[in-house]
């Protein structure tokens, strides 16, 4: 799962770090672009020595450049990071976009509610946190199964933090 909980002790804040899934490594990127170039150039071998080669070559190179740009852009857009910190007093969510700009939300932990919008929202099983007069999304870039699991884990995390003293936290 592309998220990780950090729990250092009973009195320490719970931290959750989320990031988009990265399925293409640098080696896979090189193989993909090179493989596309080689397979796209196969029809051009029959045209070697003809004027037609020079008419088709720019289109093949443009397609390769387009693939390269699209994969690089996708890698850049996956640099999103979300960090959620839960303490008994405050809950803070910091969303860092690919360019490094941060959006910050914080609220009193006691009043934070976790909601899953199964059909409404930009993606199915949309998970939000509500508090301090605002509702913010968490992990919109995760898959459906990951958002469902995240929702359950967030419910348990907030139940454990906001449980009255002396009572057992929810499972």
**Mean pLDDT value of segment 137-159:** 93
Pick 22 or 105 by higher pLDDT: 105
- Examine the pLDDT at 166 and tell me if it is beyond 60: no
Contacts 24+ apart (CB under 8 A), 120-124: 123/147
Query: Can you name the residues that pair with 14 across neighbouring β-strands?
Result: 7, 86
Summarised one tens digit per residue, pLDDT across range 125-139 is: 999 999 999 999 999
* CATH of the domain spanning 3-22+81-162, picked from 2.30.29, 2.60.120, 1.10.540, 3.40.50: 2.30.29
């Amino acid at each position: 799962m592309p998220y990780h909980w950090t729990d250092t002790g009973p009195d320490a804040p719970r931290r959750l770090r989320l990031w988009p899934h990265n399925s293409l490594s640098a080696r896979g990127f090189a193989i993909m672009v090179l493989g596309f170039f080689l397979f796209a150039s196969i029809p051009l071998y029959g045209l070697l020595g003809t004027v037609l080669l020079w008419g088709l070559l720019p289109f093949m190179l443009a397609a390769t450049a387009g693939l390269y740009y699209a994969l690089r852009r996708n890698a850049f857009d996956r640099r999103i990071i979300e960090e959620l910190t839960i303490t008994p007093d405050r809950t803070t969510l910091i969303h860092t976009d690919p360019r490094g700009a941060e959006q910050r939300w914080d609220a009193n932990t006691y009043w934070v509610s976790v909601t899953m919008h199964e059909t409404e929202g930009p993606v199915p099983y949309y998970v939000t946190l509500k508090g301090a007069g605002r509702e913010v999304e968490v992990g919109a870039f995760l898959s459906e199964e990951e958002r469902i699991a995240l929702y359950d884990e967030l419910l348990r995390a907030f139940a454990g933090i906001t449980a009255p003293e002396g009572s057992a936290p929810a499972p």
